[in-house]
Amino acid sequence: MKISVVNGANLNLVGKREPKYYGSETLDTINQEIKAKADVLGVEVDFFQSNIEGEIINFIHNSNNTDCGGIILNAGAFTHYSYAIHDAITSVDIPVVEVHLSNIHKREEFRHKSVLSDACVGLVTGFGKYSYIMALEYLAAAKST
């Protein structure tokens, strides 16, 4: 089974941008740890990052035509207003877990609302890179049952 890890706006700057919220590890380092965990779980992972909303939508749409068994999605700021990404999630038959490095409910008021959550099978927020690992473990276990 393959699981896609999709990162949205500004996540290419993780490790440099606001380490108070996002930590000091780069996205590449986090992806390496996700890959190592995927190897232990016996699943394949691929990674995609874009600051462009439409590219994320196209990636989600195209995942429906692949062997993708799940998507881990950190949409960044798109989380709070992108009904287009919401609709992309509901248009595919793939479980999507929404993740965030920081706890969006302990941040600025506008970050408290996710327009994606109700389209996803779950939400993991506030555990740093472990948010991705928890989502990966869930998707791997859900597909093996």
Residue positions annotated with a catalytic role: 22, 100
Query: For residues 58 and 112, what is the distance between their CA atoms, to the nearest angstrom?
Result: 26
Token code pair at residue 26: 């780069």
Is the pLDDT at 138 greater than 70? The verdict is: yes
Helix (H, G, I), strand (E, B) or coil at 67: coil
47-59 confidence digits (pLDDT tens): 999 999 999 999 9
Three-state secondary structure string covering 30-57: HHHHHHHHHHHHCCEEEEEECCCHHHHH
Question: What's the confidence (pLDDT) of residue 16?
Answer: 83
Predicted TM-score (pTM) of this structure: 0.92
